[in-house]
Structure 1
Amino acid sequence: MKFNKKIFYFKVNYASVVISKKDGYITSLKIAGDNQEYLNRSYIDANGSKVGFHAKKSTIIKNTNDHVEIAFTDNVLNMDWEVRYTMLNDTKGVYFSLKLDHKANYPDTQFSEIRLILRLKSDPFNWLQVEDNVARYLPTADEQKNCQIMGPKEACKVKTGEVIHKYDWSIDALKHDVHGFSTKNGLGCWFVIPSMEWKNGGAYNRDLACHQGENDSLQIIYMAGSHYGAGDEYPKKGEDWSKVYGPYLIYLNKAESPQESWRDAKAVAQVEKAKWPYSFVSQPGYIKERGKVTGKLTIKNPLDNSIFKLNDAVVTLVQQESNTESIPNQQWRHYSFWTHSSYQLRAWSKGVVGEFILNKMVTVVAGQNADLGEIVFMENRVGPITWEIGIPDRTAMEYKHGDHFNQWGLPYKFPQEFPNGIQYYIGKSDYFKDWNYCHVSVPGKGGKYQSIPWNIYFNLDQKTTGTSILRVSIAANSSTALSISLNGGKNSAEVSNFKDDACVHRDGIRGFYRELEFPLNANDFKIGENKITLNARKIGGYNNNYQFDGIIIIIMNININI
């Protein structure tokens, strides 16, 4: 490493990195053998650029032939920030980490976003990729200039007539490990993320990753984010709280094409995951020794004790909800890893309705194995399923447009594609094309948007007895209340206490999962055609909508003729 009054200069045989002493920002990224500068600029900020990190002090932590590490410090939002950059002798780029520290005697604070942004040169870094199947060349800077602002405001119609929307390239935290940009010749810059255990918002929280910016291609990592309902973080006076975000790798590579650059970055991500937790980290608060939890998850059908075949199952350890601890989708104080603490175990699986919560806390000790043995959950089912719509997987992917949900403007197509709303006939309709991926409001009289009911029709050839159950699983909701009715009768009690996850208008496919049950009186059914109506009502916000995960009806003591 070399340095002077203005910069620190990191260099290995593979790459070079320049960091400003003034701010603690990266000012240059280059790969050996190629003089192409990656960056226009970079910065670290909070709350949508309302406040920013500007280093007040820099400290050389280590400077050897094998390991260079610099720490920068500042106090922002009543918290101590420590940013570290690390380069090892085999690092193809540089590692970044951030520690936030709110001491008990510090005043209250609140923040919704903490992020690192690399503004790459859009010419030539114009190939964006965030997932295997989410990639494209961006419009040129000239095509983006003076674009027409659409709705929502982040959507922009460029000169070619295409509408680009930065939320189309958001990512889910649980399985995500790479995103970034490449040139058409395969010169790439990627965030390689071995773990998102520090991310707020739960296992499937979604957040921005990359987007356009005329002369800049914006490569972003949100260490804290609230775009999809995760909420603000708010350390209070008297609370001693800290968290380390990262380290993650800013990886530079060169390949034959953008696709090869991506595949190489994905391979490096697997290597970095195998190293996690990193042994080289000395930043206080970073936990190297972890506990382990083992066991076998089994979910059974209570009607016949048969075992469901689990597909894409997820098991999480979270904080138990309380007066001071929010739902898992909005938890932020803690990590999603296991050291010395007690956790609540929650699990779910594709093809099985519901979320299953262990009825005792799981205590984990660093360096030890907590073997839970076989954990058996019973699905909540009071009778055989009469009919169902969708696939239980906590998303709306199986419905119309769900396979390409991250595309601006899909909700606006609903009035043209379904001019009479959803009229779904059990046994005849196909939810892949006859059930929209989101229930949205449509323009009404005077230009005001209004919600319209969705109807489900089915036939019965005999009367039923007892109380039947309609189970509605919600994949996402924004400012909408839901009620149901049977055969035009009285509406059920309205469910309105949803959390707004902003999923639909930010082009997502999953938000805050919610499972609802509506009892149905036997006297309200009739022989012949029956109709269930799903009623939506706007209750706030500028956009109201929701997405269904699935709908199941259990009609007691009857055979259905569909």
Structure 2
Amino acid sequence: MATPGVQLIIQDHHVVMDNGILKVTLSNPDGVVIGIEYNGIDNLLEVLNDESNRGYWDLVWSSPTSTGTTGKFDVIKGSTFKVILEDEDQLELSFTRTWDTSLEGKLVPLNIDKRFIMLRGSSGFYSYAIYEHLEDWPAFNLDETRIAFKLRKDKFQYMAMADNRQRNMPLPDDRIPPRGQPLAYPEAVLLVDPIEPELKGEVDDKYQYSCDNKDSQVHGWICKDPAVGFWLITPSNEFRSGGPVKQNLTSHVGPTTLSVFLSAHYSGEDLVPKFKTNEAWKKVFGPVFIYANSPYNDYDDPIKLWDDAKLQMLVEVQSWPYNFPESGDFPKWDERGNISGRLMVKERFIDDDDYSSAKYAYVGLATPGDVGSWQRECKNYQFWTQADDDGYFSINNIRAGDYNVYAWVPGFIGDYKYDVVVTITEGCDIDIGDLVYEPPRDGPTLWEIGIPDRSAAEFYVPDPNPKYINKLYVDHPDKFRQYGIWERYAELYPEKDLIYTIGVSDYTKDWFFAQVTRKKEDNTYQGTTWQIKFNLDNVNKKDRYKLRVALASATYSELQVRVNDSKANRPIFSSGLIGKDNSIARHGIHGLYWLYNIDIQGSLLVEGDNNTIFLTQTRSNGPFQAIMYDYIRLEGPANSSFNKKI
């Protein structure tokens, strides 16, 4: 039987898209989704909320002189409505907001065109937006932008974002005193008297459900009676900032579901795009797919709607780039290009003559810049893939433009950049051939701590305080997402700091996942100094050794390194004040990546086992000033026959 055609109903203050499966109502000309009717439920969105607080695009912007990551919050409302396409197979609607000088200081200086698409036979709808800043318009900062949906709290109480990250969630009322008790920051709340008694004593915090971009393609909520799923599917990361391991919010208590395109979470101000007066800029965010589903029969477990949502996500990913958006600013597949090649690794002092494959390397195209600049790039498009077991990679459907090829390889420190700018043109298919990454290395490894993978996940993560648990993360691989585990450091090391002995200690048990401050009895905090003790059978006093320190995260921290003298007035290295990613408070195991290559004069070292490297994090104004280590390695001099590897 043929599916019904798509219908458009235009009213004075609303427009309705209806394809017989679901009916979507938007405000006119605002372009805010105020109603989604599906499977017998008259509105999936929260009917108790104001119409402007149900389904909307929003942004946060600030003046060019402001610092930090906060600014003016703006639910984007159109001033003009237009039908772009209307036939039985497809609707595309446009809600535009045009900027002019009379709005200076009142609205962000952007033209914004929000689009909504409904297709015949589709159990959902699409949305995308085109942001444009003209060359002579004022400068500004764009701190955040996203699309958000607020669902009915009386119906949607089960959230799912991964096979092992799904659960019955608290109600928003549970977070409000006296039912909820705010903890160290407003987002974290202890549920002291929740409506559902089994949730008593748990912590709820939206950051516990953050996710790397590469893993955040579908998430949402399930209503069990009647069985309905509501899912936000993001089929491509090309329009998201910061690359594949940038973390963003997903779904959280509200019930809320988000697709975040720009944010400074887990990075700080480095990922706030700052636009100058003479800077023309245009970017398409999306399309994303808002998908509703229900079981095939009355006997299916509603939780299985998650499995169907995952299958639909794969359909959307395989359909990217979509062929139906009408905007000329969204290039179709035949207007894009492809690139392929192979990445090899050649590491000195491992095997001088041999190349190894860059197994499972992350390879991407981003705006031309310095080595590693992709992780702070936040204005343009990025295209990433993961190489196979032999280092072969292929990146398809790349927008035309100039790019550098960037990469990083799990198991090796540092970043790769192909120095030649690659120009992608319409329909091109470029074989870039074999690329070779030579990771930083001056000499053979004397010892190492951790795994170079830009994460602190391999280190010791303690059990949480029983007073502050989220049951989802009990016996879970993401144990680091529990609230308050940073406080366990002072309990484990109440007076003396961590001491790690090479050849004796085990970094999975003896290296705390984060070098945090220690809270004192007077409620002030102090910096901490960790020690690495090691043996050298022989020392070349006249040569240099190299200490490689890779950090997975830093928050208002300063790392100082001293060798064999903890009281030395001047450290051999200081990072200065670094990092604003706040990964510890936000339950992340990584933020931005930092790599430091530190020379150690042989004259500072001694033969035998009396060598100690002191790592001091000096800043101590609060509990979250800290660093996470990714990997540490000491290399001997290039001429190192007198060194014995431990």
TM-score, scaled to structure 2: 0.82
Partner of 2:96: 73
Question: Which of the residues 206, 220, 224 maps onto 1:180?
Answer: 220
Shift of 1:23: 2.3
1:178 to partner: Cα distance: 0.7
- Asked if residue 340 in structure 1 is aligned to residue 400 in structure 2, the reply is yes
AA in 2 matched with 1:8: V
Cα distance in 2 for partners of 1:112, 1:36 equals 31
- Equivalent residue in structure 1 for 2:409, among 349, 354, 369: 349
CA contact (8 A) 2:517 2:622 kept: no
Q: 3-state SS of the aligned residue for 1:250?
A: strand
User: Following TM superposition, where does structure 1 have runs of at least 4 consecutive aligned residues deviating by more than 6 angstroms?
Assistant: 539-542
For 2:216, the aligned partner's letter is H
Alpha-carbon distance in 2 for matches of 1:497, 1:308: 37
Q: CA deviation at 1:410?
A: 1.5
- The 1:525–1:115 alpha-carbon spacing in structure 2 relative to 1, beyond 3 Å, is same
| Whole-angstrom distance in 2 between the partners of 1:287 and 1:542 | 47
Q: Aligned partner of 1:43: which letter?
A: Y
Amino acid at match of 1:204: V
Q: Determine if contact 2:524/2:622 at 8 Å carries over to the other structure.
A: no
Matched, 1:440 2:513: no
Q: Distance in 1 between matches of 2:212 and 2:509?
A: 25
**Most deviating of 280-289 and 92-101:** 280-289
Among candidates 301, 311, 314, match of residue 270 of structure 1: 314
Counterpart contact for 2:57–2:76, Cα < 8 Å? yes
2:328 is the alignment partner of 1:284: yes
Does structure 2 retain, via aligned residues, the 8 Å contact 1:485–1:534? yes
Query: What is residue 65 of structure 2 aligned with on the other side?
Result: none
Aligned partners of 1:350 and 1:392 also within 8 Å: yes
For structure 2, list consecutive stretches of 5 or more residues without a partner in the other structure: 1-6, 48-53, 61-70, 99-106, 193-199, 384-397, 462-476
Shifted more, 152-161 versus 538-547: the winner is 538-547
Aligned to 2:187: 154
List per-residue Cα deviations over 1:432-455 (Å, max 9, x = no partner): 121111111111363211111111
Residues 92-491 of structure 1: pairs in structure 2 closer than 5 A = 92-146=123-177, 147-159=180-192, 160-184=200-224, 186-212=227-253, 216-229=254-267, 230-255=270-295, 256-257=300-301, 259-288=303-332, 289-303=335-349, 304=351, 305-321=353-369, 327-337=373-383, 338-401=398-461, 403-419=478-494, 420-444=496-520, 446-465=522-541, 466-488=543-565, 490=568, 491=571
C-alpha distance after superposition, 1:92-121 (max 9, x if no partner): 111011111112232222220112221111
Which amino acid letter does the alignment assign opposite residue 612 of structure 2? Answer: K
1:313-354 per-residue CA deviation (whole Å, 9 max, x = no partner) reads 1012222337xx993233222111433322122111111122
Output the CA distance in 2 between the equivalents of 1:49 and 1:188. 33
In the alignment, the residues of structure 2 paired with residue 298 and residue 454 of structure 1 have an alpha-carbon distance, to the nearest angstrom, of 36
The AA in structure 1 aligned to 2:600 is L
Letter in 2 for 1:155: A
Deviation, structure 1 residue 522: 1.8
Residue 63, structure 1, aligned to residue 94, structure 2: no
How many matched pairs?
557
Indicate if the aligned counterparts of 1:459 and 1:560 stay in contact, CA closer than 8 A.
no
1:73/1:193 Cα in 2 relative to 1: closer, same or farther (>3 Å)? same
Deviations 1:493-535 (A, max 9, x none): 3112634222222111221111111212222222223211111
Note the C-alpha offset of 1:311. Answer: 3.7
Q: What's the CA shift string for 1:329-380, capped at 9, x where partnerless?
A: 3322211143332212211111112211222222221210122111112222
User: How high is the TM-score relative to the length of structure 1?
Assistant: 0.93
Greater Cα shift, 280-289 or 413-422:
413-422
The CA distance in 2 between the partners of 1:328 and 1:287, in whole Å, is 22
- Residue 59 of structure 1: CA displacement? 0.8
Match of 2:467 in 1: none
Q: Which moved more, 1:142-151 or 1:97-106?
A: 142-151
1:15 aligned to 2:19? no
Structure 1, 473-482 or 11-20: larger mean CA deviation: 11-20
Alignment partners' CA distance in 2, 1:311 and 1:450: 42
Query: Following the alignment from structure 1 to structure 2, what is the Cα–Cα distance between the partners of residues 352 and 53?
Result: 44
Give, in whole Å, the separation in 2 of the partners of 1:353 and 1:105: 43
Q: Is the Cα contact below 8 Å between 1:459 and 1:561 reproduced in 2?
A: no
1:4 equivalent to 2:29? Answer no
SS in 2 for 1:415: helix
- 8 Å Cα contact 2:563-2:572 kept in structure 1: no
Aligned to 1:543, the other structure's residue is in SS state coil
More displaced 10-residue stretch of structure 1: 368-377 or 303-312: 303-312
The answer to whether the 8 Å contact 2:45/2:55 transfers is: no
Equivalence for 1:548: 629
Q: CA deviation at 1:142?
A: 4.3
Q: Structure 1 unaligned segments of length 5 or more: list them.
A: none
The Cα RMSD (Å) is 2.3
> Which amino acid in 2 is paired with 1:478?
T
Residues 49 and 249 from structure 1, CA distance in 2 versus in 1: closer, same or farther, beyond 3 angstroms?
farther
Q: CA deviation at 1:309?
A: 4.7
For 2:293 and 2:528, how far apart are their aligned partners in 1? Answer: 51
Query: Greater CA deviation, 245-254 or 53-62?
Result: 53-62
Decide whether aligned partners of structure 1 residues 539 and 98 sit closer, same or farther in structure 2, where only a CA change above 3 A counts. farther
Between 427-436 and 126-135, report the one with greater CA deviation.
Answer: 126-135
Inter-partner Cα distance in structure 1 for 2:325 and 2:357 = 41
Give the structure 1 partner of residue 51 of structure 2: none
Identity across aligned pairs (percent)?
Answer: 28
The worse-fitting range, judged by mean Cα deviation, of 63-72 and 299-308 is 299-308
